[in-house]
Every structure is written in structure tokens, then in C-alpha cells.
Amino acid sequence: MSMSAQEADRGIRILKERLDACDAVLVGAGAGLSAAAGLSYFDGEAFRKYYPDMYRLGWHYPYELVGRRDDEWTRGRKWAYWATHIHYVREIFPAAELYRKLLRVLEGHDWFVVTSNCDRQFFRNGFPMERVFEYQGNYDNMGCSAHCTTHTWNDHDALQRVLANIDHETFECREEGIPKCPYCGADAEICFRGEDWQQNADRYVRFLEQARDRKLLLIEIGVGYNTPGVIRWPFENIAAEFPYAFLVRVNTGYVQYPDRTGFPQVPRSLEGKAAAIDMDAAAVIEALEARV
């Protein structure tokens, strides 16, 4: 059930008033933000087009592969998958205008972003990354599978070599295409959390400490129950514990999977400290940006 147009207007008005009156803004961005920008892990059409080998092998949309246990996959299969997926997310899918609109909404405020998204849309759209914490890391970080070093690196060329070495019959990367650690020669791996992860986590904590006794507006966008411990539950706790904090939760049902709701509700215990907007993130950000 989505909001009526009237309720939607009211929700956006509340959000705009809170934004104008706050001292600091903390945005929590989940997969729903990228989905609203067109990058959806439930997009079967894109999957068929850009992951054709995997489609032929019986998968239907990217989310089937997210967080799966791939113990039974060979190294070649793992790399074929990662290179195909990352190539789609990082190279084929463009930097999304919706993120730039969000940045314009935040300009002039003291703001910070925490995100569970690994897709690098904040980075690609010019967000100052000292104000963005990618809680679950991102697809650009490669590391050593033997952990000979804590150094992480971004190796676009290595992923291109994987793509060039995929055997399309078996959907496995041939041995000579598998990326290696430049230090010890063991296999490389996509490691998500880069060497700067802790430093970025510390920045997030500092922002929160400084916001504790200020008028902090929490804007949660497109965060469901896949990894609620990253943003959703912490944001509810912050709204409850910080005396002047207010949480606005923006979420709606998934377009491709109408039976999976976005869970826009806020707990009753947060009455007076939270509001829910059951609308697509794109509609909310565009309405706000039009009023900046």
C-alpha cells in the first residue's frame, strides 16, 4: 500500500521542514536508493542481457547471487561471476543522476552518509568520500586470499582479463585469467572492505558523537531487512537515544517484486521522533531537490 498523493505531500513537507531546521543530517542509504536510480538486483531483464551465461545456467536476477554460499563453486566460476557482476555494476550501469540530486539536497548542511551499498554510486557521483562510510565496503577492493598483506587495491585490468578468459560453455575463468596477489602470487580476492575501512568507520563514529546533542535529522532511504543491523536498527536506536534526533524513513515496495514490501513503518516507541514516507526514493529526492 502506497501513500495517497496528499499523504505523500505531507510527508515531503515534514521532511523539508526538518531539513531546514536541523543542525546535521545523517543519510542511511540502502539498496532501495540504487534500485530507485535503476540499479536493481531484482532486474531480470538486465540480468538476461548482461549475465547471459548465468541466465542460461538457470539464474534469473542478480539478487539470487548476493550473499550466497559459493563453497561448491570452483575458483574459475567465482571469478567469472564476480567479474560479470562487477562489470555490470561498475562499467555498464552509469553514474546515476538521482545520487547527484541527493548531493544537491545535502549541500549547505553538515552531513554524513552511511551506506550498505557496494556499488560505488556515491563515489562515482562526486560525493566527498570523507563524508561517506561504505559500511559493507565496495566492489573496487581486491586483496590477497592468503592474507600476506593488509594492503588492498583496485585492479580494473585484472577484471577485464577475467572477462576475456571466461569459457562460456562452463562459465569458468580459465586458469591464466585468475587475478593474483602482486606480493606473494596467491589468488587475489574481492574483499569489499578496503584498507581505509577502519578510518572511515572512525569518521562515522566521530560524526555521531558530535551530533548527539544537536538537532540531527536521520534520513533513511531504501533500507529493508536484508542487513538491518547496518542502518535500520542503529538509526532507530539513535533516534531513541539522541535527545534532539528525528528519523524520517523513506521506503516502498519493490517494483519488480510487488509482494516484497519495503517495510516503511517506524516502531510505535518512536512516536514524536520519527516519520515514515511510503514512497519511492526517487520521487522523494526529486521533490526535495526541486525545493532546494
- Phi and psi angles of residue 117, each rounded to the nearest 5 degrees, phi first: -80, 135
Residues of span 130-149 touching Zn ion by CB under 5 A? 144, 146, 148
Residue 135 CA, distance from chain mean position: 9
Residue 5 CB, shortest distance to Zn ion, in Å, is 57
Residue 185 CB, shortest distance to Zn ion, in Å, is 7
How many CB atoms are located within 10 Å of the residue 123 CB?
16
Beta carbon nearer to Zn ion, 33 or 188:
188
Beta carbon nearer to Zn ion, 162 or 248:
162
In the shown chain, the binding pattern of residues 145 to 184 toward Zn ion, with x for contact by CB under 5 A and - for none, equals -x-x--------------------------------x-xx
Beta carbon nearer to Zn ion, 21 or 184:
184
Residue 192 CB, shortest distance to Zn ion, in Å, is 17
CA distances 188 to 64, 70, 143, 180, 241, Å, are 24, 16, 6, 5, 42
Beta carbon nearer to Zn ion, 145 or 261:
145
Beta carbon nearer to Zn ion, 110 or 187:
187
Beta carbon nearer to Zn ion, 104 or 151:
151
Residue 191 CB, shortest distance to Zn ion, in Å, is 12
Residues 6+ apart with CB under 8 A from 238: 26, 208, 216, 218, 245, 247
Which residue's C-alpha cell is 532501495? 32
**111 within 8 A of 221, measured Cβ to Cβ:** no
Residues 6+ apart with CB under 8 A from 192: 118, 136, 137, 138, 139, 141
Beta carbon nearer to Zn ion, 11 or 179:
179
Residue 179 CB, shortest distance to Zn ion, in Å, is 11
Going by C-alpha positions, the residue among 16, 23, 32, 209 that lies closest to residue 111 is 23
In the shown chain, the binding pattern of residues 185 to 204 toward Zn ion, with x for contact by CB under 5 A and - for none, equals -x------------------
Q: Which helix (H) or strand (E) holds 111?
A: strand 111-115
Residue 290 CB, shortest distance to Zn ion, in Å, is 50
**252 within 8 A of 278, measured Cβ to Cβ:** yes
CA distance linking residue 286 with residue 200, whole number of Å: 28
Residue 182 CB, shortest distance to Zn ion, in Å, is 8
Size of the site for Zn ion (CB under 5 A): 7
Q: Which residues bind Zn ion (CB under 5 A)?
A: 144, 146, 148, 181, 183-184, 186
